[in-house]
Structure 1
Amino acid sequence: MVVKKEKKKPINPKSFRISLWNQRDDCYSDERSAGTVKKQDKIEMSFVGG
């Protein structure tokens, strides 16, 4: 018996990014533009290995 594998449909990168973006449940961009997000201190890259 020969088992045929289904060919996977190639993923369209643009629609993939759009679907990921639409799954987000945070409103960071809206909050940032409204000025309700606390500004955080920047991390020195040498401290994090960069």
Structure 2
Amino acid sequence: MERDGQQEDYLQQIEELREKMIATALMYGINHPKVLWYSQKIDEKHNCILKQKV
């Protein structure tokens, strides 16, 4: 059950990062380093979810 709660936390964090990434891309352009940084953080959270499923 703890994994489900932790997965929900990761999904919430992913959604928050995604919103910030989109706002940053709209403000500075899609190639801005901060957009890439957000994308990498989203990937890290996604990888955490995948590791839980193993």
Larger RCO, structures 1/2 (Cα 8 Å, 6+ apart): 2
- TM value normalised by structure 2: 0.26
Greater C-alpha radius of gyration = 1
- TM value normalised by structure 1: 0.27
